[in-house]
Amino acid sequence: MPSELWDLFWLNRELLNQITKLAADCIMTLARKLDVVPAIFTALHTFGRDLKRNVHVHLSTTRVGLHTNLKKTKKLFFKQHSLMKMWKHRVIKLFKSRHIILPYSLTNQFNNAFNFNDLLNSLYHKNWMVFCQKASSNHYANVNYLGRYIKRPPIADSKLKHYDGNNVIFKYLDHKTDTYLETSFSVFDFIGRLIQHIPDVNFRMIRYYGILANRVRSKLLPILYKFLGQTEKAQLILPSYSSLLISNFNLNPMICSKCNNHMIHVLTIYRNTASHTLLGYHNHLSESTFC
């Protein structure tokens, strides 16, 4: 969406709860015309590559969906220009339907002849950036590509180039020139730019719609798996405390370092203790009378 709207989300935080729903509704509206329900998830980003405010939505949708009669599947196709028109219409309508707190950077531009509605009308007549990635049959590449957006931080560690105690230098990709640029901020300016993108408590950055919506996924996903000739994935088994220590430190906490016998877990006590201190307890326990 146009940069004039980015700052509004910081003063009107509730709008962030609506924006991904609007993006998904564009896809769902086109799909409903074909009596199809696609699978959709969205990832909301509030940052640009140089840590500036840049609210935008990454949306992934299937190109095949369930027919509403649940007896067949049907292919979907989306036109970029149509999506752009639907997206900007919904966003402009959202801003016009709410009482919006405006930043000074906008209000100082307004007068009797030009107000906020006039600004929204002018933005509506612009072309907005709606990028449609080409569909790929390489699902391994798809998962890697989507995974970067699902858990992506505002800036990766690899982009941080130097810190001298006063200033932070990092690089970022400039989309206009398709080249990497370096920029420098004082440490407090850098921290300020970074922490402004921390989401509110309990705010969901990833959201699901269509077949993946929580209220229908248990019913619709098994039907879709059947049509695709797939089986449901087994329940994910999370790594245990022992397996993490073995893989990272080559240390099995359930094996006594004194007699090599297998120990039985009796009690776990959580405290605000550094990890290196906790690891030190291993030898202390092995020398206790429990061995």
Encoded tokens for 17: 């709860």
> What is the average pLDDT across 113-126?
92
Instruction: Output the pLDDT for position 105.
Output: 81
> What is the average pLDDT across 257-267?
80
272, pLDDT greater than 70: no
User: What would the DSSP string read from start to end of 188-212?
Assistant: HHHHHHHHTTSPPTT--SEEEEETT
| Residues 137-185: tens digit of each pLDDT | 888 888 887 877 777 789 888 899 999 989 999 999 888 888 999 999 9
Q: Are 137 and 48 in contact (CB under 8 A)?
A: no
289, pLDDT greater than 70: no
Whether 235 is in a domain gets the answer: no
Instruction: Output the pLDDT for position 275.
Output: 61
Task: Tell me which residue of 14, 76, 79 sits closest to 211, measured CA to CA.
Answer: 76
How far, in Å, CA of 52 to CA of 98, rounded? 25
| Judgement on whether residues 215 and 82 belong to the same structural domain of the protein | yes
Measured in whole angstroms, the distance separating CA 273 from the mean position of its chain's CA atoms is 31
Whether 236 is in a domain gets the answer: no
| Judgement on whether residues 281 and 180 belong to the same structural domain of the protein | no
| Residues 48-72: tens digit of each pLDDT | 988 999 999 999 999 889 999 999 9
Q: Are 261 and 291 in contact (CB under 8 A)?
A: yes
Q: Which residue segment(s) compose the domain that 174 sits in?
A: 155-196
> What is the average pLDDT across 34-38?
94
Instruction: Output the pLDDT for position 234.
Output: 65
> What is the average pLDDT across 131-142?
83
How far, in Å, CA of 5 to CA of 20, rounded? 15
What's the domain count of the chain? Answer: 3
> What is the average pLDDT across 119-138?
89
Whether 233 is in a domain gets the answer: no
Strand order in the sheet with 206-210: 53-61, 39-47, 206-210
Q: Identify the residue whose tokens are 């858990």.
A: 151
Task: Tell me which residue of 39, 24, 131 sits closest to 76, measured CA to CA.
Answer: 39
Which of 171-175, 214-218, 226-230, 280-284 is least confident?
A: 280-284
| Judgement on whether residues 109 and 215 belong to the same structural domain of the protein | yes
Q: Identify the residue whose tokens are 């997206």.
A: 87
Mean pLDDT of the chain: 87
Task: Give the number of other CB atoms < 10 A from CB of residue 145.
Answer: 13
| Judgement on whether residues 121 and 64 belong to the same structural domain of the protein | yes
